[in-house]
Structure 1
Amino acid sequence: MRELRWATLGCGVIANQLAQAMESKGRKLYAVANRTHAKGVAFAEHYGIGKVYDQIDDVFDDPDVDVIYISTPHNTHIAYLRRALAAGKHVLCEKSITLNSDELREAMDLADANHVVLAEAMTLYHMPVYKKLNDIIASGALGELKLIQMNFGSYKEYDMANRFFNRNLAGGAMLDIGVYALSFVRWFMSSKPDQMLSQVKAAPTGVDEQAGILLTNPDGQMATVTLSLHAKQPKRGTAVFDKGYVEIYDYPRAERATITYVADGHTEVVEAGATDNALAYEVEDMETAIAGDSSVMHLDYTRDVMDMMTEIRCNQWHMYYPEEERA
């Protein structure tokens, strides 16, 4: 199979990490698309990328592009997904992949109709430590999952114009950081939660600033999630089984987990992969999916997480973005 040609749509922090991941594999991005052409040119010059499009939409019409990585703000994703998928491009899209479940279903239908791979760039699904933990769990060493406790809190300055609090840029804790916590929950739970209780504190702009969420699935597994954009918390995830519990810090790109076995209190440190290689793992799994094994991208988990976020944000909190009000 020939080497796939990747284009980045956007040239911010994640795009830089993508370019560096490619370089770590002895490769380069094929092309750059960016709304501000000068920034695209500077990005391409920095990484030795051969093509910069005059207009951002030109990337969709380029027959030489195989995969597009979308790393623009959440509320722009669906418009770019429509163009990319209809043009027959495989797409790896930054989290949150869409604003809501209806948008995601539309994108999934387009991917199916055009026989391409669509996936969310959720790093924890691709970090080797999670795959290693799955093997330990499957062995029965930890018993049955009972509880999950999740924390994610950032301290963002109270600037209501920045993207974290800006309603016009799909700001708020749920789509920015909650997506990580709920993806962790879905990774370990045996099925999607069907019971959801929550409380929310709104920022002055009307987006969610802080939240507490309680989840239960049909198997009786429970999870608690606390989120904040204005109160620092450790990025800590704990999965509690009847024979032991797993603790993971900095869980979105974790390379290390600690298991404590309750029978005698001894601990086991599980290490695999490297945080710095997070984007490289995503690229590898995406190319595996394009080669035929789409299960490694976990779009089913992405769908379940989007359903949870939509139920909580829209149906419980009644918090909508301008794009959703126009729909």
Structure 2
Amino acid sequence: MSLTMDRPAVATSPVVSRPRTRRTGVPYAFLAPALVLFTLFLAAPILYAGYLSLRKTQVSGLGLGKASRTEVWAGLSNYARSLTDPDFLPSVWRVGAYGLIVVPTMLGLALLMALLLDAARTRESISKFARISIFLPYAVPAVVASLLWGFLYLPRVSPITDLFESAGIAAPNLLSNDLTLWAVANIAVWGGTGFNMIVIYTALRAVPTSLYESARIDGASDVTIALRIKIPMVMPSLVMTFVFSMIATLQVFAEPMTLKPLANTISTTWTPLMKVHRDAFTRNDLYAAAATSVIIALAAFILSFGFLKLVGRRAFSQED
């Protein structure tokens, strides 16, 4: 005889799936302040400058009264005036020579200092002090740095002149026609090397130390490790700093503008941005100033995009 026991039926409640409440608006709320600031202070001025570059003022009659001056469509005439301005091309060549001095010197010094700080024999305490010391000039505003260096360049008040005279050597006039470009470039190199050094040094710190240990076991020296391992590994950072430096070169304004009252060799159109300043605030020609600004922005975009297309795949291949 088989005994069977019936199990009591257990009442099970159906599983009710609760829909998840997705807060889709939260990310946009966090992004909203940045988007508003970007629109108001970057996107809107760029669009307005593009609009002004295609307009001009038409004067009717004797030009007296509000109704005698109207804003009309100008097409590309403002761009033609900017490109054919006799002061535009010399300012472009001057900025090109300035960039050939500043960018390689600044990035070369930044790379050298970053490699020295990352060397195995460098003590951590010395490294921290050196990092702060090299970075400090970048924290000085460009106008203040230009004033400091400007007084160092003036022969009558410069201690550099006293040092040359005490040694019996004629002190060079750093604000002369032949040396003004180097004087302005020196300020940019002094102020920008620290920032680029920090960027490259941060990339070096991210490289696994096991690569260095394996290379030393194979008998590689510090110089070989720097050339064969460190520099190729930080190539993306070098490309990024080169692009930023190139854009900053096209936009150089504060240094020569601050030195202009101290030197007769710096004109109001010494750089393209100084020409924009002259057209907008001295000649009251906002349309030509807007056209020149758009030309500078397009040049920065073309040079940056072209350089990234040229070296980007090779430099960022290790990121894939």
Question: Is TM > 0.5 for Structure 1 vs Structure 2?
Answer: no
- Structure with bigger helix share is 2
- Structure with bigger strand share is 1
TM-score normalized by structure 2? 0.25
Q: Highest CA radius of gyration, 1 or 2?
A: 2
Question: Comparing both chains, which one has the higher relative contact order based on Cα–Cα distances under 8 Å and sequence gaps of 6 or more?
Answer: 2
TM-score normalized by structure 1? 0.25
